[in-house]
Amino acid sequence: MKGDADMTPAQTHGLGNRDLLDQYLAAGFAGRVGWGERVALLVIDMAGAWTSQDEMIGTDLGGVLDSIRRLLDVVRERDDVPVVFTTMAYDETYSDLPLASRLKTPHLERMVRGSERVRLVPELDRRPHEALIEKPRASAFFNTNLPSILVAQRIDTVVVVGCSTSGCIRSTCESALDHGFRAIVPAEAVGDRSASAHEAALFDINARYADVLPIEEVVDHIRRRPRAAATVTTDG
């Protein structure tokens, strides 16, 4: 067994950690997924429970919201980039909330369907044709119809924004990769109640699951990308 003098010192885990990134690159991590042919915008959990500082798990996400609204403005100028919103909501009897989840994350008991806590913040100005999904777990893909929505429109790339970086954003990016989708994360358009968890999650997301990019680059790409051909639908 090696002595203490032979042990590699622990590295600070942050998005800007050059040494750790070099180690990941040498191990084959942090490849680029890039942009595909068809893009969708996923807006994760920008509802009262997460965005109000008066809530148990809420925090100030004003800057994140501004960045998301900027992306929405660009996307809504087009007709080929669908928008999907998510929230988390359960029956007031907890009949759809397993005991293990209640024990581990008891705040979920407050996420009652129809309450202000689970409603999207009005600043997002969700449009009638923009889907809203109630997800039972952290990932927007788990036990929801999101994969079907994306496949039906031949989407191959998802831009993931919202909160929280260390929870639902990371989990959604992991599931996107598992389902074969490219995922892009604009760094300024995701947030977390913990700065250190935010930075660590962004580092791992960028290394393992998605491309973390500056929002300027994402906005510019969406604005300039060629318009995708309309999907063909037929009535049965």
Identify the residue whose tokens are 């777990």.
137
Please say if 163 is a catalytic residue.
no
Residue 158: φ, ψ to 5°: -120, 130
149 burial type by CB count under 10 A (0-12 exposed, 13-18 middle, 19+ buried): middle
Single-letter amino acid, residue 183? A
Q: Which of 150, 168, 202, 218 is catalytic?
A: 168
Alpha-carbon distance of 82 to 76, in angstroms, equals 9
Alpha-carbon distance of 97 to 113, in angstroms, equals 12
Single-letter amino acid, residue 95? S
Count CA within 13 A, CB hemisphere, residue 214: 3
Active-site positions read 168
